[in-house]
Amino acid sequence: MHPLSRERVKRALSAAGLEHLPYKQRVGGSNPSAPTRRRALRGSSFIFILRHITMITKRWTFRDIVTLNSIEALLEHRKEHVGMAYMLLCQSGHMEMEYRGEKKHMRKFDLLMSAADQIPQNRIESDDFRCTIYALEAKSLDDILFACIKEEPSWMQKLRYVLLHPILHLSRRQVRLLGAYEGLIQFYSDGTLWQADSSYRLKRRVAFLQGQAMVLEFMSWIDQAMTRDKQQADTARENSSQEMNNRTNELYTRFITMLYTYGLAERRVSWYANQMHITPAYLHHICSQAAGQSPQEIIGNMILREAKQRLSSPEASIKETAFALNFGSESSFCKFFKKLEGKTPSEYRSLN
């Protein structure tokens, strides 16, 4: 930005109260030659003008932040200020809208943080809806964010959070604090603050630090929201895990109960799954989670325990035991027994 453009010189002359004076009265003397002109430009009037030019071209002020009271006013403001960002605070009532192609709902003390090219569409506002909009020029926002990055190393995570969660609900304390910032914005927007005096640099610095403090405050609110969402997600995950465990235990208990009732007559996993209105794969998952075994292993172990109990009685023959346990033949029972126990029914009976 060139510091001595014609427009800026005019503004500086206006601020100095010299815009209507002829050239010789501005710099002192008649229209001089080149050497004389250079000496004249060293006069106090020109120094006064330069001070105003410096303030106009280099200062950062809260004039780059404006407060608006409606979305219509924001649309008008956007026409002359490309690339700005804004925050919309719902002071009362509620509003239904479409934002980035999604339906959103804003209620009292909700804060929408957005870029100017993303304006709520298809708005339905309640009769008592009132809002305050803070519009910030892009250049000023860039300067503030650059300074805040040094203070907040996790700013990128917060930016991603805002993109995913553009609406932030504020507490009453946060709304009061935002109102205090608004008061400071109005205070620093007072043009009388920026008259040429020895403290204008300090005032410029105060204005910049005030903007930085406001952005850092917003970052702290976003950080609180991120922490709250994480806690809620962890709690929901724990509750979901607990519910899943309860459901698993309930289904496993039901399976075991059915097994003691029908186990001697029915050994098909699919049959038990159909009775429980679940898939065989899900029954397998339940048994694995609850007992660390497959349904077929649980069924086989139950039949093996029943076979051992019957074989412990000398009155029951191996053939009778096989048919009592619903095996088609004595040989199939012996193969089953040896596969699980490692010995035949006769060997087991002789050892016990």
Is the same domain home to 108 and 203?
Answer: yes
Cβ neighbours of 288 (radius 10 Å): 14
Q: What token pair was written down for 228?
A: 């709250």
Cβ atoms of residues 83 and 109 within 8 Å:
no
- Whether 238 maps to a domain, the answer reads no
Domain span at residue 22 reads 6-58
**pLDDT tens-digit series, residues 139-170:** 777 777 777 777 777 878 888 888 889 999 99
Give the global pTM. 0.54
Question: Is the confidence at residue 17, as pLDDT, over 50?
Answer: no
3-state helix, strand, coil in the chain (%, to 5): 65, 10, 25
Q: Give CA separation, 280 vs 52, 267, 294, in Å.
A: 83, 13, 10
**Residue 314: partners with Cβ closer than 8 Å, 6 or more residues away:** none
CATH number of the domain residue 278 falls in: 1.10.10.60
Same domain, 314 and 172: no
- Amino acid identity at 226: M
Identify the CATH number of the domain in which residue 104 sits: 2.60.120
In whole angstroms, what is the distance from residue 101 CA to residue 184 CA?
A: 35
Q: Is residue 243 domain-resident?
A: no
Which of 93-102, 165-174, 309-318 is predicted with the least confidence, judged by mean pLDDT?
309-318
pLDDT at 22: 46
Q: Do 52 and 72 fall into the same domain?
A: no
Q: Which residues are registered as beta bridge partners of 111?
A: 89, 168
pLDDT digits (tens, 9 = 90+) for 23-61: 444 444 444 444 444 444 444 444 443 344 333 333 444
Beta strands in the chain (DSSP E): 65-68, 85-92, 95-99, 102-106, 110-115, 121-125, 130-136, 167-169
pLDDT at residue 62 tops 50 = no
Amino acid identity, position 205: R
Which pLDDT band, with edges at 50, 70 and 90, does 270 fall under?
A: very high
* Cβ–Cβ < 8 Å for 264, 303: yes
